[in-house]
Structure 1
Amino acid sequence: MTGRLASATTATAYQREWFARMREEVAGGVPLALVNADAPQEIFRAMGIPYVVNQWWASIVAAKRQTQRYLGLLRERGYPDDIEQYSATSLASAFETDLEQAPWGGLPTPSIVLGETTGDASRKIFDVWDAQPGVTYYPLESAAENAVPERWWELMPHRWEEAIGSDRLDLMTGELTGLIRFLEQTTGRVFSETRFREVLALVNEQQEWNRRTRDLIAAARPCPIAVTDGIPSVMVPQWHRGTEWARDAARAFHDEVRERVEAGVAVCEDERLRLMWIGRGLWFDLEFYRRFQESHGAVFVWSMYLAIAADGYLRYGDDPLRALAARFAAFSDQLYTPPWSAEWYVKEARHHGVDGVVHLVSDDARGGYFTTRALRAAGIPVLELHADNVDARTGGDLTTQMTAWLDELGSN
């Protein structure tokens, strides 16, 4: 029971098998979508259109130590290799010529890319995609609201209209209606509201299991799982949400965590420091998360992936398309925009009883200063690491910084 989570290895194997089947389908003429992580993937699920998540693919490339080769493909064509690498890595796949080197046989060329127009660089990345033969970019607006809800995580499941604002929901609901029409016209697939409701119901079931799992880990002393197991256990099913497999995978993850908690399993027998990792996964160095267990008894008990699944996705309501709009209209706010994000991180830090926070701040981060300030104001020590999460060129001294900080934290 002390080895890797079965749910993690099962999810990873499922994703690899799914990717191979998807490549065969696309080679046979099935349309493929490339979508951002914070895009409404449930529409594609309901219409039976396969999709690959932009940032997931970048994480695979980084884990296979191929990010520098992919960034080189951009550089050769005159595009910058040091701006929003997490989103730009997949674009480099459009210029891949050596599929034998490419992870998992390479990313097929999509027929549609979907993402918000967040930031100048992000929009330009998608514009380059749009310029590729046979690829169409469908943009979604990134809207804001002056009124900011308090304790949004309590409002979102049922009172999302109040939390997000009607104007933002009107805008995104209209855009999603247009997306459905576009997909029907270009793919020949038919949108079924009955099927769509089934997808949304399965997503809510899945996130309810994730919420229970998050709360189990928050209360457990010592921490029963490694964060490097928790991430695939929650995120691979997230990329398949709206399916029975994903719902059942989330339940299996919960049951496995519960068994470990009841058995008193510890990922680190000498747990002395409980840590929270704020930011994207450090895909080029996943060993970082366990590197300090033996030397400092330091265990990462939190990452945003399970926590946002628990608090950010649940949406109940009678209007399915508007409920889906509510899932994504403020998604970036929840993670990156203060005070939405800052208050949530403080809440999660207290919920998990952490001794300190490691905050990965990338060049394109939004609101990072306010997150750190809010945590420190709450009396929680914070180490800021400035690096890009997929570009190893930016992470040369992270271990040195972390060691010095843990030495100080452990002595207090």
Structure 2
Amino acid sequence: MTARLASATTATAYQRDWFARMREEVGGGVPLALVNADAPQEIFRAMGIPYVVNQWWASIVAAKRQTQRYLGLLRDRGYPDYVEQYSATSLASAFEDDPGQAPWGGLPTPSIVLGETTGDAARKIFDVWGARPGVTYYPLESAAENEVPERWWELMPHRWEEAIGRDRLDLLTGELTGLIRFLEQTTGRVFSETRFREVLDLVNEQQEWNRRTRDLIAAARPCPIAVTDGIPSVMVPQWHRGTEWARDAARAFHDEVRDRIDARVAVCRDERLRLMWIGRGLWFDLGFYQRFQESHGAVFVWSMYLAIAADGYLRYGTDPLRTLAARFAAFGDQLYTPPWSAEWYVKEARHHGVDGVVHLVSDDARGSYFTTRALRAAGIPVLELHADNVDARTGDGLTARMTEWLDELT
């Protein structure tokens, strides 16, 4: 077992300290936003409004083994505890009846929640938030385009208008303009385009480092880091993107990976199978990712978090608000909508030279069938595991299925 990445432990410590400071600020009257992972957080960064990422908080609750208690809070109030648990966990925080049990002191009540209307259940979760005293739900539309670009990852940094389409960008740019006006009116903060441009420049610098890191790991034999270290090393800085700390953290992650490769550090000395994990992190059982190294020499070398940071965020343009819209107008397509997503996963599987793919399919998954089909058509073995990534009740039999599949591969 290799030592943990310093970048991972540093990022986790930073996030914990930041969360404590944020709780104090919100307790003193500073407004707080709760935003989805695929929401344009850079506006809040530029305006100095703290925000908590909805799905990040759900991952903390799951890692602390408290998801069932939180889902119980929903169930006790007549809400379903089996629909979009990843998004509903934060809503359960609004009904917290024992703050002493809450991870990290608990989630403060936000004054605004922001997310796309990607489905009936997600919309209703946010509607319940919006019915809470002092909370406003600001919805963003989820648009689509008939024309699908080929090799979108090559177009996105500079030719994003061609990839996404003018109408989608017009819509989201208009919505973001309205969001800025709403935030100025309700928080008293002033939006500065100069500051906003600085934030966007820092984000691009950060993602350039993530792209280099992704490519280092893709080429490395053996794999130099555990995926459980790679996730916090890339994602905690992602939640702080637009800051110098996040940019520098991404560079430190890159340098640490490079140094491990140069030193021939291996996560698994007997690496025999390189695996790709498609889907959200299995937060209720992070040990799953390293459980099969000794028995099968199986190493997870890929997760979507570093890969989407490398391919999905870079945007360069002269109109800053439209450039930000380009980052998120098709974000869900990149991960979940075929053929956008399916072609990208095949590209990444080949880039990393994987021997097989483990595909976590949740009940609310979009396009999962097409992802699996595309990978298998490319000659890549796929194991589908049907479970919710934060609800341990759905996790029975995952280890046994994985073991059986690996036995077949070897």
Shift of 1:274: 0.1
Shift of 1:99: 1.0
TM-score by length of 2: 1.00
Q: 2:396 aligns to what SS in structure 1?
A: coil
CA distance in 2, matches of 1:322, 1:406: 46
CA distance in 2, matches of 1:253, 1:341: 26
Shift of 1:2: 3.2
Match of 1:331 in 2: 331
Shift of 1:231: 0.1
CA distance in 1, matches of 2:396, 2:2: 31
Confirm or deny that 1:16 pairs with 2:16.
yes
The farther-off stretch of 1-10 and 369-378 is 1-10
User: For residues 376-412 of structure 1, what are the alpha-carbon distances to aligned partners after superposition, in whole Å with 9 as ceiling and x for unaligned?
Assistant: 0000000000000000000010000000000001xx5
User: For residues 248-307 of structure 1, what are the alpha-carbon distances to aligned partners after superposition, in whole Å with 9 as ceiling and x for unaligned?
Assistant: 000000000000001110000000000000000000000000000000000000000000
CA distance in 1, matches of 2:332, 2:265: 35
User: For residues 325-384 of structure 1, what are the alpha-carbon distances to aligned partners after superposition, in whole Å with 9 as ceiling and x for unaligned?
Assistant: 000000000000000000000000000000000000000000000000000000000000
CA distance in 2, matches of 1:367, 1:97: 37
Shift of 1:90: 0.1
CA distance in 2, matches of 1:343, 1:263: 34
Confirm or deny that 1:393 pairs with 2:393.
yes
CA distance in 1, matches of 2:157, 2:2: 35
CA distance in 2, matches of 1:98, 1:388: 25
Q: 2:132 aligns to what SS in structure 1?
A: coil
Match of 2:380 in 1: 380
Q: 2:295 aligns to what SS in structure 1?
A: helix
User: For residues 116-152 of structure 1, what are the alpha-carbon distances to aligned partners after superposition, in whole Å with 9 as ceiling and x for unaligned?
Assistant: 0000000000000000000000000000000000000
CA distance in 2, matches of 1:200, 1:313: 10
Q: 1:100 aligns to what SS in structure 2?
A: helix
User: For residues 161-213 of structure 1, what are the alpha-carbon distances to aligned partners after superposition, in whole Å with 9 as ceiling and x for unaligned?
Assistant: 00000000000000000000000000000000000000000000000000000
CA distance in 1, matches of 2:340, 2:95: 38
CA distance in 2, matches of 1:338, 1:57: 28
Shift of 1:97: 2.1
CA distance in 1, matches of 2:262, 2:335: 32
CA distance in 1, matches of 2:373, 2:7: 36
CA distance in 2, matches of 1:196, 1:349: 35
Q: 2:384 aligns to what SS in structure 1?
A: strand
Q: 2:157 aligns to what SS in structure 1?
A: coil
CA distance in 2, matches of 1:157, 1:234: 19
CA distance in 2, matches of 1:293, 1:2: 12
CA distance in 2, matches of 1:77, 1:378: 47
Q: What aligned pairs does 1:260-271 form with structure 2 within 5 A after superposition? A: 260-271=260-271
TM-score by length of 1: 0.99
Match of 2:55 in 1: 55
CA distance in 1, matches of 2:139, 2:200: 22
Match of 1:281 in 2: 281
User: For residues 17-60 of structure 1, what are the alpha-carbon distances to aligned partners after superposition, in whole Å with 9 as ceiling and x for unaligned?
Assistant: 00000000000000000000000000000000000000000000
Q: How many corresponding residue pairs? A: 410
Q: Unpaired runs of 5+ in structure 2?
A: none
Aligned Cα root-mean-square deviation (Å)? 0.6
Q: Unpaired runs of 5+ in structure 1?
A: none
Match of 2:112 in 1: 112
Q: 2:139 aligns to what SS in structure 1?
A: strand
CA distance in 1, matches of 2:71, 2:79: 9
Q: 2:80 aligns to what SS in structure 1?
A: coil
CA distance in 1, matches of 2:396, 2:145: 39
Q: 1:113 aligns to what SS in structure 2?
A: strand
Q: 1:95 aligns to what SS in structure 2?
A: coil
CA distance in 2, matches of 1:70, 1:407: 37
CA distance in 1, matches of 2:254, 2:98: 40
CA distance in 1, matches of 2:98, 2:387: 29
CA distance in 2, matches of 1:245, 1:341: 30
User: For residues 296-329 of structure 1, what are the alpha-carbon distances to aligned partners after superposition, in whole Å with 9 as ceiling and x for unaligned?
Assistant: 0000000000000000000000000000000000
CA distance in 2, matches of 1:217, 1:160: 26
CA distance in 2, matches of 1:268, 1:231: 18
Shift of 1:3: 0.3
CA distance in 1, matches of 2:277, 2:234: 16
CA distance in 1, matches of 2:101, 2:121: 28
Q: List, as ranges, runs of 4+ consecutive aligned residues in structure 1 with deviation greater than 4 Å.
A: none
Residue identity (%) = 92
CA distance in 2, matches of 1:97, 1:207: 40
CA distance in 1, matches of 2:262, 2:318: 38
CA distance in 2, matches of 1:52, 1:176: 19
